Amino acid sequence: NAGVMQNPRHLVRRRGQEARLRCSPMKGHSHVYWYRQLPEEGLKFMVYLQKENIIDESGMPKERFSAEFPKEGPSILRIQQVVRGDSAAYFCASSPPSTGAHGYTFGSGTRLTVV
């Protein structure tokens, strides 16, 4: 039973390029959450999705960031026209429906470096 799979593990982008981060939830998990962790800081919630629906995007920056969780395939976090301040570790978590916070399983993260 594979855990939450994130890829790539490391991503380097030049300023102005697009970054696409992928997250495959655990089998049986229909809820996906994205978090961002800046260096030396705690994780910050970005967005919560269920299949084909964005449930809560209160933590997403207003511009350049978008997320989707299609009916088929992984969840995608897309960052357009990246800037140096986007450099961070991005973690995805998944959970089954109707669970408390003990039901979260986190992936190993994608470390984005913008040069």
Chain residues in the site for other proteins (CB under 8 A)? 4, 31, 33, 35, 41-45, 48, 55-56, 58-59, 91, 93, 98, 100-102, 104-109
Cα distance between residue 106 and residue 45, in whole Å: 13
Q: Please say which residue, 67 or 72, places its beta carbon nearer to other proteins.
A: 67
Q: How far is the CB of 50 from other proteins (least distance, A)?
A: 10
Q: Is the dihedral of CA 29, 25, 67, 109 positive or negative?
A: positive
Among 32, 35, 56, smallest CA distance to 46 is for 35
Query: Can you read off the two tokens belonging to residue 101?
Result: 């916070």
Q: How far is the CB of 59 from other proteins (least distance, A)?
A: 7
Q: How far is the CB of 55 from other proteins (least distance, A)?
A: 7
Cα distance between residue 55 and residue 76, in whole Å: 15
Q: Please say which residue, 13 or 31, places its beta carbon nearer to other proteins.
A: 31
Q: Please say which residue, 43 or 112, places its beta carbon nearer to other proteins.
A: 43
